[in-house]
Amino acid sequence: MKINWKIRFSKKNLTFVFRFIAALIVPVLAYMGLEATDFTNWKSVGDLLISFVTNPYLIGLTIFNAVNLIPDPTTKGLSDSKLAQNKILIEKDDK
């Protein structure tokens, strides 16, 4: 599996970064029946982290959700295209 991680997680690719973070957080909140507004203090965040770490199903679900975001749907298999692998900059679309 060849993926250009520098491009995926670069500052200029914030869409991917935010989607990846959401892929980690949303399954946990949905499984626990919580919303972001439920976290008004650090104790509630700590309690959620402990609940997450002690739940193997939720860990697996979160990993699966995050990994599912990584493959490029425009290519066959799990690797990036040769063009994407060789990119060093993200080009801006002027539409």
Give tens-digit pLDDT for 19-66.
999 999 999 999 999 998 998 999 999 999 999 999 999 999 999 998
User: Given pLDDT bands bounded at 50, 70 and 90, which one contains residue 71?
Assistant: confident
Sequence-distant (≥ 6) Cβ neighbours of residue 55 within 8 angstroms: 31
**What is the value of pTM for the model shown?**
0.74
Sequence-distant (≥ 6) Cβ neighbours of residue 34 within 8 angstroms: 28, 48
- Torsional class of 50: left (φ above 0), alpha (ψ -120 to 50), beta (otherwise): alpha
Whether residue 59 contacts residue 52, with contact meaning beta carbons closer than 8 Å, is answered with yes
How far does Cα 15 stand from its chain's mean position? 10
The whole-number average pLDDT for the span 74-79 is: 81
pLDDT at residue number 95 = 58
Whether residue 39 contacts residue 48, with contact meaning beta carbons closer than 8 Å, is answered with yes
User: Given pLDDT bands bounded at 50, 70 and 90, which one contains residue 5?
Assistant: confident
